[in-house]
A and B are shown apart, each in its own frame.
Chain A
Amino acid sequence: MTATMRKYIIKRLIYSAFIAWGIFTVTFVLLRIGPSSPADRYLATMGAGKGDIEEIITALETRQGLDKPIYVQYVDYVTNLLHGDWGWSFSTSMPVMDLIRIHWIYSFQLILLSMIFAALLGIVIGIYSAVNQYSRIDYLSTFFSFVGISIPNFWLGIMLILIFSVKLGIFRTYYDTSLPVFSFENLKNLVLPVITLGTGSMAAYTRYVRSSTLENLKKDFVRTAKAKGLPERTIIWRHVFRNAMLPIVTIIMFDLSGVVFGGAYLTEIIFGIPGLGQISFNAIFAGDYAVVVAVTLIGAFITLLFNLITDISYTFLDPRIRYE
Chain B
Amino acid sequence: MRLSRRKFLSLCAKFGAFSLAGGTIGCTGQKEAKVESQLPERQFPQVKGTFIEGTSSGDAETLNWILAGDGASLGYVNFTMDGLITYDNNLNIVLRWLSEPIEVSEDGLRYTLRIRDDLYWSDGKQVTAEDFVYTYRNLMFADWMPFNYKDDYREEIDGEKRFVEIKAINKTSYQFIRQTVNPEFLYTITDFWVYPKHIVKKYEGDIEAFTQADELNNLSYTGNLGPYRFVEWIRNDKFVLERNPDYYLGKESGAPYFEKYVVKILGSAAARHAALEAGDITSASIDPLQVKKFKELKHINVYTQPTSGYNILVFNFRNNGWEGFKNKKIRQAIAMSISKDALIQSIYLGFADPAFSFIPRPSPWFVEDGLSRYGVDELYDKERAMQIFQDEGYELHDGKILDGEALRLTVVTNSGNKVRESICFLVKQELSDIGIDVEMKLLPWTTELNQYLRNKVPGSDEEPAFNNGPDAVSEKPWDMIVMGFSTDVLSPSGSSVFFTSDGGLNFGGFSNPDVDALFNRIRTKESLDEDKRREIYGKISILLSEDLPGNFLAYPVGNVGFQSNVMGIEPGISMGYNYHEWYFA
Q: Type the 1/0 row for B65-105, where 1 means its CB is closer than 8 Å to any CB of A.
A: 00101110000000000000000000000000000000000
- Please determine whether A40 and B446 come into contact, CB atoms closer than 8 angstroms: yes
Q: Which residue of B lies closest to A54 (CB)?
A: B465
Is A21 close to B, CB under 8 A?
A: no
- Please determine whether B463 and A54 come into contact, CB atoms closer than 8 angstroms: yes
Besides A35-B450, A49-B497, 7 other A-B contacts (C-beta < 8 A): A48-B495, A54-B465, A60-B146, A102-B234, A158-B268, A158-B274, A270-B271
Q: Which residues of the other chain, A, contact B486 by a CB distance below 8 angstroms?
A: 47-48
Q: How far is the CB of A164 from chain B (nearest CB, A)?
A: 10
Q: Which residue of A lies closest to B496 (CB)?
A: A50
Q: Type the 1/0 row for B353-396, where 1 means its CB is closer than 8 Å to any CB of A.
A: 00000000000000000000000000000000000000000000
Q: Which residue of A lies closest to B240 (CB)?
A: A178
- Please determine whether B449 and A40 come into contact, CB atoms closer than 8 angstroms: yes
Stretch at the interface among A69-77, A110-118, A166-174, A309-317: A166-174
Q: Which residues of the other chain, B, contact A50 by a CB distance below 8 angstroms?
A: 149, 151-152, 494, 496-497
What CA separation (Å) do A289 and B22 show in the bound complex?
Answer: 27
- Please determine whether A63 and B280 come into contact, CB atoms closer than 8 angstroms: no
What CA separation (Å) do A91 and B484 show in the bound complex?
Answer: 23
Q: How far is the CB of A268 from chain B (nearest CB, A)?
A: 7
Beta-carbon contacts under 8 Å, A140-190 to B: 154, 158, 161-162, 165-166, 169, 172-174, 177
What CA separation (Å) do A47 and B485 show in the bound complex?
Answer: 6
Q: Which residues of the other chain, A, contact B505 by a CB distance below 8 angstroms?
A: 46-47, 53
> Contacts A93-B64, A274-B236 known; A174 to B264 CB distance under 8 Å?
yes
Number of interface residues of B (CB under 8 A): 66
Q: How far is the CB of A16 from chain B (nearest CB, A)?
A: 29
Is A271 close to B, CB under 8 A?
A: yes
Q: Which residue of B lies closest to A277 (CB)?
A: B236
Number of interface residues of A (CB under 8 A): 55
- Interface class of chain B by DSSP: mixed
Q: Which residues of B contact A (CB under 8 A)?
A: 5, 20-24, 58-59, 61-64, 67, 69-71, 146-152, 207-208, 211-212, 217, 234-238, 264-268, 270-271, 274-275, 277-278, 280, 309, 445-447, 449-450, 463, 465-466, 484-488, 494-498, 504-505
Beta-carbon contacts under 8 Å, A268-308 to B: 268-274, 278-279, 282, 286
Q: What are 20 A-to-B residue pairs whose CB atoms are below 8 Å?
A: A46-B505, A47-B21, A47-B22, A48-B488, A49-B22, A49-B148, A50-B496, A50-B497, A54-B465, A90-B61, A93-B67, A102-B235, A158-B271, A173-B271, A174-B266, A269-B267, A272-B264, A273-B237, A278-B236, A282-B236
Q: How far is the CB of A90 from chain B (nearest CB, A)?
A: 7
Is A99 close to B, CB under 8 A?
A: yes
- Please determine whether A94 and B217 come into contact, CB atoms closer than 8 angstroms: yes
Q: Which residue of A lies closest to B146 (CB)?
A: A59
Q: Which residues of the other chain, A, contact B69 by a CB distance below 8 angstroms?
A: 42, 45, 56, 60
What are the 5 A-B residue pairs with the smallest beta carbon separation, nearest first?
A: A48-B22, A269-B267, A274-B237, A59-B146, A45-B21
Q: Type the 1/0 row for A62-101, where 1 means its CB is closer than 8 Å to any CB of B.
A: 1100000000000000000000000010111111000100
Q: Which residues of the other chain, A, contact B24 by a CB distance below 8 angstroms?
A: 48
What CA separation (Å) do A282 and B217 show in the bound complex?
Answer: 20
Taking a contact as CB atoms closer than 8 A, the residue among B21, B62, B71, B147 that contacts A93 in the complex is: B62
- Please determine whether A56 and B148 come into contact, CB atoms closer than 8 angstroms: yes
Q: How far is the CB of A296 from chain B (nearest CB, A)?
A: 19
Q: Which residue of B lies closest to A154 (CB)?
A: B268
Beta-carbon contacts under 8 Å, A199-255 to B: none
- Please determine whether A177 and B234 come into contact, CB atoms closer than 8 angstroms: yes
Q: Which residues of the other chain, B, contact A102 by a CB distance below 8 angstroms?
A: 234-235
Is A32 close to B, CB under 8 A?
A: no
Q: Which residues of the other chain, B, contact A26 by a CB distance below 8 angstroms?
A: none
> Contacts A35-B446, A45-B21, A56-B148 known; A93 to B217 CB distance under 8 Å?
yes
Is A12 close to B, CB under 8 A?
A: no
Beta-carbon contacts under 8 Å, A7-50 to B: 35-36, 40-50
Is A324 close to B, CB under 8 A?
A: no
Q: How far is the CB of A110 from chain B (nearest CB, A)?
A: 13
Q: How far is the CB of A38 from chain B (nearest CB, A)?
A: 10
> Contacts A35-B450, A40-B449, A158-B274 known; A279 to B267 CB distance under 8 Å?
no
> Contacts A35-B446, A172-B280, A173-B274 known; A51 to B235 CB distance under 8 Å?
no
What CA separation (Å) do A273 and B287 show in the bound complex?
Answer: 22
What CA separation (Å) do A237 and B463 show in the bound complex?
Answer: 68
What CA separation (Å) do A93 and B62 show in the bound complex?
Answer: 5
